[in-house]
Structure 1
Amino acid sequence: MPSIAIVYFSGSGHTHLTAEAIAEGVRKTGNHVELLRIKGEQITNGRWQDDEIMEKLDRADAIVFGSPTYMGGVAAQFKAFLDAGSSAWFSRKWKDKIAAGFTHSGSLSGDKQGTLIYLSIYAAQQGMVWVGAGDLPSQYLGKTDGVNRLGSFLGIMGQTIMSMTGGEAILDSGDRLTAEYFGQRIAEATKRWNLEQLAIAT
């Protein structure tokens, strides 16, 4: 049974809710999933370190990367984690693992594609196999469930209007459903990839 790790940073909670929805989609396929949240306190003198998280990522069959889009790119906390992945890059520990990505921001655009491009390039440098979103925007299918309402295919995007007064994080119902479908797609792709690799090896 494939093991899927979702590693992410969430500042106000929206990216966390997206990660949970992706995990729910993975669970619906019967596969194992683990949520690994990056936190600011894991960073000392600008360097991120958490050996336990890195060990779990090394063992996973797939890694899903998630970050809110801040100022057109990944959050600084998540960038520190990604930089720490250079050790995996040198040793090729993540080569041939399935990879995918997701992001969230307060604006409909918010330059979220910049974040997904960065994450996909990072995965390519690690030698990983990138899986994008597979669902057409629901409006093109005459549906109103909001699936892929932002029309993103490199990875998935979510959007919630930023509250200047704080409050509990919420996720658009369409974005939540998109995330669940994405989790199922990643799990199924990981299973197929693992079977193909096993067949090649034997």
Structure 2
Amino acid sequence: MVTIAIVYFSGSGHTHLMAEAIAEGVNKIGIHAELLRITGEQITGGRWKDDEILAKLSQADAIVFGSPTYMGGVAAQFKAFIDAASAAWFAQQWKDKIAAGFTHSGSLSGDKQGTLLYLSINAAQHSMVWVGAGDLPSQYMGKTDGVNRLGSFLGVMGQSPMNMTGGDAVLDSGDRLTAVSFGQRIAEATKRWNLEKAA
């Protein structure tokens, strides 16, 4: 069975909602999506460790990386995971897997491009095959659904105003549609890639 792992950290819940929407898109194509959430509790003495997550990533056919953008880059918790995955890098365990990435911040820009660049560079170091967003911004297509409203092509970006009073995270409807579409694109690419590899 083809499996797509979505590994991500979410601080306030927005990135989690994006991960769920991507998984929904993957599942629409008939491929199994597995959500693997990075947490601060997995970090001990400054080092991230979760052998079960690393094993699932090595078995997956594709890995989608997600982190909120904090101070122009990935969250510290996600960076700790990336550093711990250097053992997989050294053995090239993720070589030729499909890869993709997504991020979220409170600002329209928030320097989210820096996070996507970091995620794509990490995937390249693992010798993975990167898949971009694949949707033109809806405003250029004469649509008002908000798909790719932030105009990102390297990966998917989301944005929600900072909630200073607490409460549940809410995802912009256009960002949610973009994430679902992204999941479908990743699933289709993974299916094609696996067929080519099998041939």
Q: Trace 1:34-183 onto structure 2 (pairs within 5 A).
A: 34-183=34-183
Q: Distance in 2 between matches of 1:2 and 1:109?
A: 35
Moved segments of 4+, more than 2 Å? none
Q: Distance in 1 between matches of 2:86 and 2:104?
A: 25
Q: Distance in 2 between matches of 1:64 and 1:150?
A: 19
Q: Distance in 1 between matches of 2:163 and 2:185?
A: 32
RMSD, aligned α-carbons: 0.5
Where in structure 1 are there 5+ consecutive unaligned residues? none
Report the secondary structure of 2:34's partner residue: strand
Displacement, 1:94?
Answer: 0.2
Displacement, 1:45?
Answer: 0.7
Report the secondary structure of 1:4's partner residue: strand
TM-score by length of 2: 0.99
Report the secondary structure of 1:6's partner residue: strand
Q: Distance in 2 between matches of 1:83 and 1:99?
A: 17
Report the secondary structure of 2:77's partner residue: helix
Displacement, 1:166?
Answer: 1.2
Where in structure 2 are there 5+ consecutive unaligned residues? none
Q: Does 1:191 align with 2:191?
A: yes
TM-score by length of 1: 0.98
Q: Distance in 2 between matches of 1:166 and 1:102?
A: 23
Q: Distance in 2 between matches of 1:193 and 1:62?
A: 10
Q: Distance in 1 between matches of 2:83 and 2:71?
A: 19
Check whether the contact 1:2–1:187 (CA below 8 A) recurs between aligned residues. no
Displacement, 1:165?
Answer: 1.3
Displacement, 1:50?
Answer: 0.3
